[in-house]
Amino acid sequence: MKTDAFIGLGSNLQEPVAQLARAVAELAALPTTTLVAQSPFYASSPVGPQDQPDFVNGTAWISTELEPHALLDQLQAIEQAHGRERLEHWGPRTLDLDLLIFGNQVLDDDRLTVPHRELPNRDFVLHPLLDLNPDLKLPDGTTIANLRAQCPDNRLRKLPPRDYP
């Protein structure tokens, strides 16, 4: 049985827009997974240390037969293939893939929290989620639109669409 999942994408190193475009293609190629849609990409100020480049962010909507932890393993493998290094909390990165929402499941263990713990504080994730599905809700019924209305602004700027291989 397939589950709809929403993935947050972020990058601020080594051609961030191209990093995200490649990551979306890799998500579409995951086993037993279909890419339903991808959001436009947005530029935003970094969260955490400010002595780094702005981020490019977006979201992807997938339908998958993978279980949440198996999907997390796949996301981390994609990050590693893009040269992701975890040197500094909220520091610069080639690619960050976050499992934001996984169907109506609520998980909280040592490896994975779904819905993502920081979702209410991240306009650079909430706005792209609304682009994908303006009626999207969390398992507790909270709407993404309501979260976005209460979220602090992070100088989000929509980037023009571009084609990448």
Give residue for tokens 């849609």: 37
Q: Are 84 and 93 in contact (CB under 8 A)?
A: yes
Q: Which residues are catalytic?
A: 84, 93, 96, 98
H-run or E-run covering 109: none
Rounded-to-integer distance, Cα 89 and Cα 38, Å:
26
In a 10 Å sphere around its CB, with 0-12 CB exposed, 13-18 middle and 19+ buried, how is residue 65 labelled?
Answer: middle
Q: Cβ–Cβ contacts within 10 Å for residue 35, how many?
A: 18
